[in-house]
Amino acid sequence: MEKLKKKIGSFSFWNWVIASIIFRLILIYFPKNLNLSSRPEVSTPLTSFRRLAEGYWLKQSSMSSYAGSMYHGSPLLLSLLGPLTVKRIEGQPNHLLYSLVSVIADVVSAMLIRATGQNLRLAYLRSLESLDLVKQIDVSEFLFSGDIAALIYLCNPFTIVACVGLSTSPIENMAVILCLYGACSRLIPLAAFGWVIATHLSLYPAILIIPVIFLLGCGPDSPPRKLFLQRHQQKEVLNQLKLPPGFSWGPIIHFAFWAFLWSVYVLVLCGISLKQFGGLWEMFKSTYGFILTVEDLSPNIGVLWYFFAEVFEFFRNFFLIVFHVNILFMILPLSIRLRHRPCYLAFVYVAICSMLKSYPSVGDSALYLGLLGWFVNELADMQFSLFLFCGYVGVSLLSPVMHNLWIWRGTGNANFYFTTAMVYACLQIVLVVEGVSAVLNHDRKLRILITGKP
Amino acid sequence: METFINPKSLFHLLLLPCLLLYSSIAYNSSPVEAAMHTNNWAVLVCTSRFWFNYRHMANTLSLYRTVKRLGIPDERIILMLADDMACNTRNKYPAQVFNNENHRLNLYGDNVEVDYRGYEVTVENFLRVLTGRHETAVPRSKRLLSDEGSHILLYMTGHGGDEFLKFQDSEELQSHDLADAVKQMKEKHRFKELLIMVDTCQAATLFNQLQSPGVLAIGSSMKGENSYSHHLDSDVGVSVVDRFTYYTLAFFERLNIYDNASLSSLFSSYNPSLLMSTAYYRKDLYKRRLEEVPVTNFFGSVMETIHTDAAYKALSRRNSGRFEDEMSLDQSVHHIKRRMLIKVNDGDEIHDINPELLQGEEGASKCPWSTFRKKFQKAENVDSLLNYGLVAMIPLLVISTWLVQ
């Protein structure tokens, strides 16, 4: 019976995957990619495809690809994706090749999410077994978090829009997911590679080093260690085999070594490509410097542009520091509280970054919504889930409307658009807060089951 | 390919010291100049506006046409015109300017590039052009970008008087202003030789105050004399050319770009009875003998094309100077020896390329690392290296993951 259920489940999974790919391909064949690449929600100065094409053209004209402050991405992306921006096939839509690359990146990310999800689920079941809670919790009700997460990622309208809208988010997301997959499966070179590439493409995945360290040191998500100790105190059988291993530094050293290797490799390649245009310092100024100093104030679904459009020059640096520290100071408390659940920590970090980064787009939201799928079992009792769902739907419908009212019709102003951006930020905050409290509640429930006292 | 080049470069190596010796002797016999003549510029100024000064614009445009015909390109010509004749409502032949009543030649053709037009022709702009002191936003096409190897032709026409030249009926350029500007140019090494040609009334007074060496000046009339127009075109309704310029053009129309007519033949071609004034020239500041200076030194820009067998390498300014210099070397240098000097330059070029081709076999000082770096600096190599690096990332990743597992 279970086998049949599993078979049906996996059959529909591949159905859904193929359906989403076909849907993406249909959308790609619409004229001009439905003008999605001109939407500010989809393409930001960091992820815009048009800027990539411009950077590639500048490079081909023997000028620095960062000239004119158009392109702010990695020079490696230019070499990889640049030729795709100019190649045209007769009778096909303009950027077919690049869209296909995005679709492939999405599919690969989905497969990696599925594998990591299966890993997490197995780890969860194993930890339940070692806590002897298998009879008390109905494991047959456990959803296949890997499949669900992969399907959420593929069929999410945000992901589809980011893919069809020709942004570089699918590739950045793929790098982040690769890093998490490598860390979960203990494939250290892969994890190091993913982390280095993700940080190189956009600065923010650098903070994923902490969940990766926890993943490599302790292993995938599991209930808090003291629960295990309490359980074994109760049983008075110190069966070391059933205890999860303590924190080990060996994999961390390996990871550091591989990360160093890959970063040297990437930096050498970048240095080669930018030799006569100012070298690595120019690259850091144009990519990381651009991200950190928020030079471009064109509207997006984030909250920084509105604020920095009106801040006085005298206070600009101060507020830049405030906004960036906003992300940084949340790292430590969360890492202390959620150290036994590194994948969930990674999810929370990704969500916070997507909310507070300088140029957010729907591609970033697509990433953490996909990662949310890993925790359907733990987050089953999350409050406000319907409110959040309706909120997301509402914001994604209203935001283009407000943008149109402001820019095209002129009957609205920037406040209209910024309102939707603020509401979106609020929704994300609610999601993060409720998610963390739901996971902590889940841990508390496990503790109650083990110790019998609340 | 390597064996083919070796004997040739050896031959040039032997030839080099002999010819260096010879050329040093040749240089010593010519007058001591720090720089060689490398390029030609022309600054053509018409200082009048209004329909009845048609002939001044025709003068300037005729000189423009001549100077272009003899080889100076548009980017080395600064043309300052009021430019209100061709499309003037009183012009019976719209967009056409003639310098002869037979209307044989339309001076305002397809490719007249006026750098300063209309109200931009002011004394201030003129002096800025000469001295090179522009605002930062002035485009390169409006600048006189000459250097210490330039020969400049400065032609001015309009209404003038005793020690002044009238600019557009509202300003004056005085002779000491011009002398100051030329002195600044000389101090800033903005010319090697300068020929000033002025076609106005009492033109010779305009260069009374000049003191800078290397300047040759000729004016159409002396103090107290007027310069007259040549003839009236009854169809157009105004005089179409001045006498001095007319006879200058008559001299140049007989020339083509390879002729060796000298400046003295030009200056002696002016007949005072035909000009109805005395064309006076001042050569006390100019050290060379006028019989030896071809007119194309100022009015044209004669370059010799030299065929090389080696691949064209972007020449440094120093090398390019050597090619153009062939025409300006002292006339006493024999033509054949000039050709050998050219070959030496050729040999130098091949000698330079050699280490790249032979990977450091030739010169002992070129180590393999520098040849590798030179090869490396070419753009295509960088691109392909980058692509290899990127593509190699994936198998590296796969292998490392598989190994560690």
Specify the CATH number for the domain of residue B228: 3.40.50.1460
SS (H, E, C) chain B: CHHHHHHHHHHHHHHHHHHHHHHHHHHHHCCCCCCCCCEEEEEEEECCCCHHHHHHHHHHHHHHHHHHHCCCCHHHEEEEECCCCCCCCCCCCCCCCECCCCCCCECCCCCCCCCEEHHHCCHHHHHHHHHCCCCCCCCHHHCCCCCCCEEEEEEEECCEECCEEEECCCEEEEHHHHHHHHHHHHHCCCCCEEEEEEECCCHHHHHCCCCCCCEEEEECCCCCCCCCEEEECCCCCCEEEEHHHHHHHHHHHCCCCCCCCEHHHHHHCCCHHHHCCCCEEECCCCCCCHHHCECHHHHCCCCCCCCCCCCCCCCCHHHHHHHHHHHHCCCCCCHHHHHHHHHHHHHHHHHHHHHHHHCCCCCCCCCHHHHHHHHHCCHHHHHHHHHHHHHHHHHHHHHHHHHHC
Cβ(B59)–Cβ(B48) below 8 Å: no
Residues in A closer than 8 angstroms to B385, CB to CB, are 272
**Domain encompassing residue B221:** 39-299
Task: Please count the residues of chain B.
Answer: 405
Q: How far is B361 from chain A (nearest CA, A)?
A: 27
Least CB–CB distance from A189: residue in B382, B386, B397: B397
Tell me if B10 is assigned to some domain. Answer: no
Smallest CA–CA distance from A79 into chain B, residue: B387
Q: What is the pLDDT of residues A418-445, one digit of tens each?
A: 999 999 999 999 999 999 999 999 999 8
What b/e string do you get for A25-64 counting C-beta neighbours within 10 Å, with b at 16 or more? eebbeeeebeebbebbbbbbbbbbbebbbbbbbbbeeeeb
The pLDDT of residue B359? 41
Given A188, A258, A272, which is nearest B382 (Cβ)? A272
Contact assignment for A269 to B389 by CB distance below 8 Å: yes
- Residue-level pLDDT at A436: 95
B351: nearest Cα among B379, B319, B377: B319
End-to-end CA distance of chain B: 52
Poorest-confidence range of A21-35, B48-62, B98-112, B365-379? Answer: B365-379
Active site residue B159: yes
* DSSP-derived 3-state class of residue A297: coil
Closest Cβ opposite residue A269 in set B379, B390, B405:
B390
Assess if residue B108 is contained within a domain: yes
Q: Which of residues 239-278 of B touch A (CB under 8 A)?
A: none
Q: Assign A209 a pLDDT band (cuts: 50, 70, 90).
A: very high
Per-residue pLDDT, A6: 62
Residues of chain A with C-beta less than 8 angstroms from the C-beta of B405: 187
pLDDT at A308: 93
Whether residue B108 has pLDDT greater than 80? yes
B398: in domain: no
Give the C-alpha separation, A159 to A349, whole Å.
19
Please give the average per-residue pLDDT across A21-48, as a whole number.
86
pLDDT above 50 for A355: yes
Reported as a single tens digit per residue, the pLDDT across B338-392 is 444 444 444 444 433 333 444 434 444 455 666 656 665 666 777 888 888 888 8
pLDDT at B301: 80
Q: What does the pLDDT read at residue A1? A: 57
Q: Cβ contacts of residue A282 below 8 Å, gap of 6+?
A: A64, A66, A274
pTM of the model: 0.59
Disruptive mutation site among B386, B387, B399 for chain A (greatest number of A CBs within 10 Å):
B386
pLDDT recorded at residue B317:
44
Pairing status of strand B229-232 against strand B239-242? antiparallel
- As for how many domains chain B has, the answer is 1
User: B63-94 pLDDT, tens per residue?
Assistant: 999 999 888 999 999 999 998 888 888 888 88
Q: Residues in chain A whose beta carbon is closer than 8 A to a beta carbon of chain B?
A: 62, 76, 79-80, 182, 187-190, 193, 254, 258, 265, 268-269, 272-273, 275-276
pLDDT score of A95 = 83
Q: What is the pLDDT of residue B154?
A: 95
CA distance B380 to chain A (A): 10
Quote the pLDDT of residue B364: 43
Q: What is the mean pLDDT of residues A135-148?
A: 76
pLDDT tens, residue by residue, A248-270: 888 899 999 999 999 999 999 99
How far is the alpha carbon of A70 from chain B, nearest alpha carbon, in Å? 21
Q: Which of B12, B46, B151, B201 is catalytic?
A: B201
Q: Quick check: A435 and A348 in contact, CB under 8 A?
A: yes
Question: Per-residue pLDDT for B15 more than 80?
Answer: no
CB atoms within 10 A of CB B59: 31
Q: What is the pLDDT of residues A385-418, one digit of tens each?
A: 999 999 999 999 999 999 999 998 989 899 999 9
- Partners of residue B172 on adjacent β-strands: B166
Surface of B (363-392) touching A: CB under 8 A: 377, 379, 382-383, 385-387, 389-390
Cβ–Cβ gap B379/A62 under 8 Å: yes
CA B237 to chain centre: 36
Higher-pLDDT residue of A195 and A39 is A195
A112 vs B271: CA distance, rounded Å: 96
pLDDT confidence tier of residue B310, bands split at 50, 70 and 90: confident
Q: How far is CA A162 from CA A165, A361, B148, in A?
A: 5, 8, 60
Segment A284-326, tens digit of pLDDT: 999 999 999 998 899 999 999 999 999 998 999 999 999 999 9
What residues of A are in contact with residue B386 (Cβ under 8 Å)? 76, 79, 269, 272-273
Task: Please tell me the distance from the alpha carbon of residue A345 to that of residue A208, in angstroms, as a whole number.
Answer: 9
Q: Please, which pLDDT band fits residue A62 given cuts at 50, 70 and 90?
A: confident
Tell me which of A218-232, B47-61, B217-231, B326-340 is least confident.
B326-340
Q: What is the mean pLDDT of residues B301-319?
A: 64
Asked whether residue B21 carries a pLDDT value surpassing 80, the answer given is: no
Closest chain B residue to A271, measured at CA: B386
| Burial of B353: CB neighbours in 10 Å, binned 0-12, 13-18, 19+ | middle
Q: What are the φ and ψ backbone dihedral angles of A249, each rounded to 5 degrees?
A: -90, -15
Subunit contact A190:B401, Cβ cutoff 8 A:
yes
Is residue B309, in this structure, part of any structural domain at all? no
Least confident span in A132-141, A156-165, B219-228, B395-404: A132-141
> Within a domain: residue B151?
yes
A39: pLDDT strictly greater than 50: yes
Alpha carbon B270 to chain centroid distance?
25
Q: Please state the rounded mean pLDDT for residues A102-129.
A: 92
pLDDT digits (tens, 9 = 90+) for B257-291: 777 888 999 999 999 999 899 999 998 998 888 88
Residue B282 within any structural domain of the chain: yes
Q: Which residues of chain B neighbour A279 with C-beta distances below 8 Å?
A: none
Any domain includes B91: yes
A224 pLDDT tier (thresholds 50, 70, 90): confident
Cβ contact (<8 Å) for A269 and B404?
no
CB A279: neighbour CB atoms within 10 A? 13
* pLDDT band with cut points at 50, 70 and 90 for residue B205: very high
Which one is catalytic: B103, B159, B176, B231?
B159
pLDDT band at A175 (very low <50, low <70, confident <90, very high): very high
| Residues of A in Cβ contact (< 8 Å) with B380 | none
Partner-chain residue, chosen from A190, A193, A272, that has the shortest CB–CB distance to B385: A272
Those residues whose C-beta lies under 8 Å from the C-beta of residue B44, and which sit 6 or more positions away, are B60, B63, B64, B67, B77, B78, B79, B80, B153, B155
Is B268 inside a domain boundary?
yes
> What pLDDT, on a 0 to 100 scale, did the predictor assign at position B342?
42
Average model confidence (pLDDT) for chain B?
Answer: 79
Q: Flag whether pLDDT at B28 surpasses 90.
A: no
